[in-house]
Chain A
Amino acid sequence: MIQIKGLSFLYNDSKEPALNNINLQIGEGEFVGIVGPTGAGKSTLALCLNGVIPHFLHGEFYGEVKVDGKDTVENDCARIAYSVGSVFQDPEAQIVSTRVEDEIAFGLENLNIPRIEIAARIKESLEMTGISDLRDYSTTQLSGGQKQRVAIASAIALRPKILVLDEPTSELDPKGSLDIFNTLQKLNKEYSITIVVIEQKIQLLTEYCSRLVVMEKGSVLLDGPTRNVLANQEILQKIGVNSSPVTRLAYMLKKEGLYQGEFPINVEEAYLVVSKVLSEKRR
Chain B
Amino acid sequence: MPAMVEYIQTDSFFHRLNPITKILWTFAVLIISFLFNSPIPILVILLSNLLIALASGIIKQVLPMMKALFIFSFILILCQIFFVDEGKTLFYAIPYFNIGKVTDAGLNMSLVMSFRMVATVSTIPILMMTTPMTDMVVVLVEKLKIPFKYAFMFITALRFIPTLMGEIEQIMQAQMSRGYNSDTRNPFKKMVIVIPLAIPLLVSSIKKTEKMAISMEARGFASGPRSYFRKIVMGKADYAALVLLLTAILSPALL
Contact = CB atoms under 8 A, between A and B. Distances in A.
Asked if chains A and B are in direct contact (CB within 8 A), the reply is yes
Interface of A: 47, 50-52, 55-57, 76-78, 81, 84-86, 88-90, 92-94, 96-99, 101-102, 105-115, 118-119, 122, 138, 140, 151, 154-155, 158
B219 A93 contact: no
Interface of B: 7, 9, 132-134, 156, 159, 162-163, 208, 211-231
A123 B221 CA distance: 22
A69 B171 CA distance: 46
B103 to A, nearest CB: 50
A109 B218 contact: no
B159 A98 contact: yes
B224 A50 contact: no
Contacts of B231: 115
B226 A155 contact: no
Contacts of A112: 224-227
Contacts of B7: 98
26 contacts: A47-B214, A50-B218, A56-B213, A77-B220, A81-B218, A81-B220, A85-B218, A86-B219, A93-B208, A93-B212, A97-B134, A97-B159, A98-B134, A98-B159, A102-B230, A108-B227, A108-B229, A109-B227, A110-B219, A112-B224, A118-B229, A138-B9, A140-B162, A151-B215, A155-B218, A158-B219
Given A92-B163, A92-B208, A86 B224 contact: no
B13 to A, nearest CB: 20
A122 B229 CA distance: 10
A47 B218 CA distance: 9
A114 B211 CA distance: 28
A101 B217 CA distance: 19
Given A52-B217, A94-B211, A154-B219, 9 more contacts: A77-B217, A84-B218, A92-B163, A97-B133, A97-B159, A106-B216, A107-B220, A118-B227, A155-B218
